[in-house]
A and B are shown apart, each in its own frame.
Chain A
Amino acid sequence: MELQLGLALPTQNPIQGLNLTNNGLECSELRRPSFCIESHRHVKNKRSFEESFEYSSKSLPLLVWNGQPNDEDDRGGKRNRNAHPANENNEEENRLVGWPPIKSCRKKKIHQQHPRFPIRNAGGMLAENGDRGSNSSYVKVKMAGVAVGRKIDLRLYSSYETLTNKLFSMFNKCQKPEEEKESFTLTYQAEEGDWLVAGDVPWQSFIDSVKRLEIVRSGVAEST
């Protein structure tokens, strides 16, 4: 039988007759698929099993070990499953499932925040707080009927409410008096290129995919 996912080594000593005794089962030999992960693994003095521990008669073993030392001889097999050394990880975030052991709620936050980590410049100094360079999340905002667009840093907002409040105060001055009564809709261009009405998806999904914003007259939004 072969190395499926690097699991089992060829069987050498199949399970022999199992004799039922008072306290458990005895088994003369049980296949032991030992292997060594790394050949430079430090090997200590081998001791026989009985020397290594106090055998308690209360333990009702299902297996009475015959005291053969664990042989670390079998170094041929190398476990491959999930054991890629860290420096093989290039594109994929985690080849090893569940490692490092971080809860998914925390992983999500890290994933979202990753592009916005503070960066160190060539001198090893942290970039100034205000100067986020390529780590910023500024998007262009245009409003219908306004010639000049604006840019805002989306990281400063944590909800649709705060964003729309800000946009309102930004563009309010641009409106002509007779336009004040009109209602507007906030739309955005998502990663895939299409334009959507803002507010349908949870805030964080919105942040992850928004590329540009546009404030359109409500009638226009509905007709497209």
Chain B
Amino acid sequence: MPRIAYAFPDEVLEHVFSFIHSDQDRNAISLVCKSWYEIERWCRRSIFVGNCYAVSPVMVVKRFPKLRSISLKGKPHFADFNLVPEDWGGYACPWIEAMASAYPWLEEIRLKRMVLTDESLELISKSFKNFQVLVLSSCEGFSTDGLAAIAANCRNLRELDLRESEVEDLSGHWLSQFPDSFTSLVSLNISCLGSEVSTCALERLLAGCPNLQSLRLNRAVPLEKLVNLLGRSPNLVELGTGAYTSEMQPDVFSDLSRAFVGCKQLKSLSGFWDAMPYYLPAVYPISSRLTSLNLSYATTESPYLVKLVSECRNLQRLWVMDYIEDSGLEALAVSCKDLRELRVFPSDPFGLEPNVALTERGLVSVSEGCPELQSVLYFCRQMSNAALVTIARNRPNMTRFRLCIIEPRKPDYLTLQPLDAGFGAIVEHCKNLRRLSLSGLLTDRVFEYIGSYGKKLEMLSVAFAGDSDLGLHYVLSGCDNLRKLEVRDCPFGDKALLANAAKLETMRSLWMSSCNVSFGACKLLGQKMPRLNVEVIIDERGPPDSMPESCLVEKLYIYRTVAGPRMDMPGFVWRYTGP
């Protein structure tokens, strides 16, 4: 009986594979047999590397000779909160260099939490003739000089997105490096830049790029200038304003309103730094078109936020500060029946007393009123099991639930019990929950629930929770789809880690800081699991070699890899090297 794999010539198979885009499907195809592996690798155009140290650039280039698009992630997520020391790693340079020689036709580079230099940016700008997309999310290490090289040399650039990166802002002149003949820009996000960008250069750029759909300005762009810029980009779908404040002038108001109306495709607004109530109603004429509103930098008082939000009846995504208060969220629940994602950020996270009237009630209202709500990030100062159970029952379709009760280990404020039952209800009812962040007072019980019910859970963030190793054990042994686990300040230790060592090879990474893992366990794990990198971040006590095995490590990052130990470990990262 002829084997199916030989039934079609390679070209036919390749044509069939060209319709398969998802990474998972492509990976599955490559496992069918050797010839499918070969055919597939030659026609893979795009890859996503979730941990840049899981594989080496050389390996990638060797396996996939014809890539057009690459996405890489570097530092662990907790680097966002200053838990990872400077110079830890995540360097993009070796990747850029490898790709510069291997992929002259590379079109897209997307990096997250990586360190990138001006030299690399220059290399990108000169190596890839058809370079189109550069997305640098939470990256650092480069300056506006590097951006100038991109602007000057990338003739076909479509997207330049610097979201939340830390850029050394030498001057705003880099924008003028886009040549007059440049027309291809579709998306520009410079919201993270501190210094002023020449508005002349911006205007010229916008005038030359009729296909611009997404423009996110930085805070330094004044409101009056925004009006001019909007006039030049009538096809905008997404706009991030600069500072949304000015002297109260009726003509600026009406010009602004008219400019918003003139952008007939406008669906998403963000920016709004220092938003003045006076200018918020300029948005009203287009409010019914808006599906996404990011007011998370608007330090505006509740009534004005509420009025705006209530006008936007088709809102799907809202990011807002806790100035909106419970009453505002109740109004949101009444007006915005299509809401899918809500993020509420704290205005005074380090204050000791609540400064706004935002409690668990706001979230409960939204969970009741918004049937499509799937994704929540909520900072608050009190929570109850009853509220969490209600939310869980209301919204079994929840897929991402991140709750941050600001004070660590805070119990249910009504009963003074741990919040185990509440979060337990979340994992029990929300059967498609993929991401969960816990807070408040929690015992091992909550992890038992998570291990039992969280079968689709992919990412879990835990802080100041649990009683013992059992907690960690429940999660590692129960959550079948767990990819990323990050833990801080929990009494989880050696036993659970070693008993579940094999599980770690099925995950992308595990971060543990201020837990109870001993140096001895790290050594053992590193010794016995060669396909894991068990990296200990050394603190002021000195390298683990000089510590007794029973001593606890402060920070630990474990990830699976086929690339062996990384070559760029700084002095403060230790890894088991030999007997």
Contact = CB atoms under 8 A, between A and B. Distances in A.
Contacts of A99: 81, 408, 463
Contacts of A162: 222, 224, 246
B499 A65 contact: yes
B408 A103 contact: no
A1 interface: yes
Nearest to A7: B552
A102 B297 CA distance: 13
A63 B495 contact: yes
Contact of A156 (B138, B245, B299, B499): B245
Given A63-B499, A113-B299, A158-B220, A41 B541 contact: no
A94 B350 contact: yes
A53 B243 contact: no
B169 A202 contact: yes
Contacts of B49: none
Contact of B477 (A59, A64, A96): A59
A1 B220 contact: no
Interface residues of A, number: 80
Given A4-B541, A42-B417, A203-B196, A117 B347 contact: yes
B274 A202 contact: no
Nearest to B410: A86
B550 A8 contact: yes
B22 interface: no
B501 A61 contact: yes
Interface in A1-29: 1, 4, 7-8, 11, 14-15, 18, 24-25, 27
A97 B539 CA distance: 14
Nearest to B321: A110
B524 to A, nearest CB: 6
A54 B445 CA distance: 16
Given A42-B418, A63-B499, A89-B350, A15 B83 contact: no
Contact of A103 (B80, B277, B461): B80
B478 interface: yes
Interface string A33-69: 1111110011110000100111010111111110000
Interface string A100-121: 1111111001100110111000
Interface in B445-504: 445, 448, 451, 461, 463-464, 467-470, 473-474, 477-478, 488-489, 491, 493-495, 498-503
Chain B, interface residues (CB within 8 Å), range: 35 or more
A153 to B, nearest CB: 9
B195 interface: yes
B232 interface: no
B417 A62 contact: no
Interface in A113-143: 113-114, 116-118, 126, 129
B406 A100 contact: yes
B348 A15 contact: no
Contacts of B80: 101, 103-104
Contacts of A11: 550
A32 interface: yes
Nearest to A202: B194
A44 B46 CA distance: 50
Contacts of A179: none
Which of B444, B494, B495 counts the most A-chain CB atoms under 10 A from its CB? B495
A159 B195 CA distance: 8
A109 B297 contact: yes
Given A33-B550, A60-B501, A83-B489, 16 more contacts: A1-B548, A1-B550, A8-B518, A34-B469, A53-B473, A53-B478, A59-B500, A61-B501, A86-B407, A98-B488, A100-B349, A102-B345, A104-B82, A109-B297, A117-B355, A202-B169
Interface of A: 1, 4, 7-8, 11, 14-15, 18, 24-25, 27, 30-38, 41-44, 49, 52-54, 56, 58-65, 70, 72, 79, 81-83, 86-87, 89, 93-94, 96-106, 109-110, 113-114, 116-118, 126, 129, 155-162, 166, 202-204
